[in-house]
A and B are shown apart, each in its own frame.
Chain A
Amino acid sequence: MASNAAAPFWRAAGMTYITYSNICANLVRNCLKEPYKTEAISRERVHFAVSKWAEGKPEKPTVRTDTPEA
């Protein structure tokens, strides 16, 4: 197996392919014309809550959201 073929610049800087791909997609979405831009951005919104469990009970959840606080 050939040893480290020239890694792309983002890999060399410690970024994974998924991060690179998502950054590219976000940049493209931000350059769209109006109705398509709001449509694309609202399509990609996420809202979720993650909580760690300790001793059989959930701890306080961290909520990650793109929806503005109502």
Chain B
Amino acid sequence: MLRRATTLLTRSTIPLRARPFSTDVAETAPADSTFSDAWKKVVPHIDPPRTPLTFMKPRPVTPSSIPTKLTVNFVLPYASELSAKEVDMVIIPASTGHMGVLPGHVATIAELKPGVMSVHEGADVTKYFVSSGFAFIHANSIADIIAVEAVPLDRVDASLVQKGLAEFTQKLNSASTDLEKAEAQIGVDVHSALNSALTG
């Protein structure tokens, strides 16, 4: 039974033709050479059309040493708040708690809860209240943060927040169906997050 043990142990455990992971994308966009050659034969005086792949910027390489700055892309559906901005740290309100992201952070996908996001660049701190969204932190110290609504804290009206909080706490107590309870709970969560953002 153990006669073949040595053969089994020394055999390589990696399958012979291991498929590459989808995260190891080629660094330069491939241009289809057979297509361009066939095109040039038929229409030599016009440049071959570009394919969608050639328009895409190749994924930036994961550097071997940890970069000194984090590149942040912070986008909203209607505007790009920060676009490839180099910062020291961002603190994002993930659903698992406030998470500080430094350059060299492990690749993470975090769902955001309503809360304050702060961007630290040297001595400046810019704070935004984010309604909800996602943060994608890549292995090459690029962070893509997407939110539906994000406002600087000085645009929030404290009295409206208090009114909303009171109204939704009231609705939560009087809610009957699951859906009403859920909506009231969301209202309470968002308003209390706004409240603590204004006071904290």
Q: Which of A29-37, A49-57, A61-69 contacts B (4 or more CB under 8 A)?
A: A29-37
Contact A25 B148 (CB under 8 A): yes
Interface of B is mostly: helix
In the bound complex, what is the Cα–Cα distance between A55 and B157 (angstroms)?
Answer: 53
Decide: A22 and B148 in contact? CB cutoff 8 A: yes
Residues of B within 8 A of A (CB-CB), count = 27
User: Digit string of B120-131 for contact with A (CB within 8 Å is 1, else 0)?
Assistant: 000000000101
Say if the beta carbon of B156 comes within 8 Å of chain A. Answer: yes
- Tell me which residues across on chain B come within 8 A of A8, comparing CB atoms: 95
Number of A-B pairs, beta carbon distance below 8 Å: 74
How far is B156's CA from A27's CA once the two chains are assembled, in angstroms?
Answer: 11
B157-200 with Cβ < 8 A to chain A: 157, 160-161, 164, 178-179, 181-183, 185-187, 190-191, 194
**Minimum Cβ distance to chain A for residue B55 (Å):** 29
Q: Which residues on the A side are within 8 Å of B155 (C-beta)?
A: 32-33, 36
Chain A interface, number of residues (Cβ within 8 angstroms): 25
Task: Give A10-30 as 1s and 0s: 1 = Cβ < 8 Å from B's Cβ atoms.
Answer: 101111000011111101111
Known contacts A21-B132, A33-B156; A27 and B178 CB within 8 A of each other: no
**In the assembled complex, which residues on chain A have CB atoms less than 8 Å from the CB atom of B21?**
none
* In the complex, chain B residues whose CB is within 8 Å of the CB of A21: 131-133, 148
Report chain B residues within 8 Å CB of A25.
131-132, 148-149
**Chain B residues proximal to chain A, CB less than 8 Å:** 78, 95, 114, 129, 131-133, 148-149, 151, 155-157, 160-161, 164, 178-179, 181-183, 185-187, 190-191, 194
A-B pairs with beta carbons under 8 Å apart, 8 shown: A15-B179, A27-B131, A27-B186, A27-B187, A28-B129, A30-B164, A32-B151, A32-B157
